[in-house]
Amino acid sequence: MSTSQLPPFVGMGWAMANRDHVRFVDCRWSLDGSQGRAQYLAGHLPGAVFADLDADLAGPASVTAGRHPLPDPDDFALAMQRLGIHDDTPVVAYDTAGGGIAARLVWMLRILGHPAAVLAYRDGDVGSVLEDGDVDVAAGSFSPRPWPQSAIATIDEVAAAAAAGTVVVDARDGVRHRGEREPVDARPGRIPGSRNLPWTENVVRGRLDDDGAVRARFEALDVDESSIMACGSGVTACHNALAMEAVGLPRPRVFVGSYSAWAADPQRPVDTGAHDA
């Protein structure tokens, strides 16, 4: 496998064999704050740099754009430069959440045509290779590029798509999709008509499930090239989008504002309870 033609997911064996030719990016983050830079400093893959979801992979949160909107292209380029990433640097991103956070960076890079992959690994794969402390790298020369609108769905496009029967897939867990619990967004529930495929169902002990099993889950929802991925704030939706790409299905658009933007607009209806389809 060429480092310039990375698939959406790679394993630890490949990553360590190519460690001198890729940039490892640690993307650890959690809603409760238990994962982040402190954990990175305590132990990370050799040479890995740290990307913060809120500061590096998202713009300022807002009612209309959601909790994790895409950053301005210039700001994203500066973040990638700080991490020592050039226009041709293959990136392998990881976290401790099965790739759910790392997928955001990988999706952002891949829609720009940049080689990037999620490191899919089990805890036992890491062994004794970790190092601690910060990693100083020379600045990269990553060029600012506009976000391709063909990869992104707006809130109005999502509303129109859902009303027309286009499949909108919500990557949140079933409890949140049914509106039984909502720890962070304005209202419990879901985008009306959206289907639920928690991104975690495609991960088995840290690694992407068998291609056939992943494909079957998406095909059971009747996804196609017009489908849209959503989640809470446009992060784990990226994992579902990459999983589709990994098994040969068309990479769908992502609704970056996701439920955080939808629920914040009181004019947008929400559904609760079990999906009726």
pLDDT of residue 275: 73
DSSP label at residue 6 = -
In this structure, what are the phi and psi dihedrals at residue 105, rounded to the nearest 5 degrees?
A: -65, -45
Q: Return the pLDDT at 276.
A: 59
The CB-side HSE value for 254 (13 A sphere, CA atoms) comes to 30
Catalytic residue, from 120, 231, 235, 256: name it.
231
* Residue 206: half-sphere exposure toward Cβ, Cα within 13 Å: 14
Domains and CATH numbers, the chain: 9-146 (3.40.250.10), 150-264 (3.40.250.10)
231 is catalytic: yes
Q: Is 147 exposed, middle or buried (0-12, 13-18, 19+ CB in 10 A)?
A: middle
Q: What is the pLDDT of residue 33?
A: 87
Other beta carbons less than 10 A from residue 262's beta carbon: 25
- Model pLDDT, residue 139: 97
**Predicted pLDDT of residue 232:** 98
Instruction: Give the per-residue pLDDT at 5.
Output: 82
Could you tell me the pTM of the whole model? 0.96
Residues of the chain predicted below pLDDT 50 = none
Tens digits of residue pLDDT in 80-120? 999 999 999 999 999 998 999 999 999 999 999 999 999 99
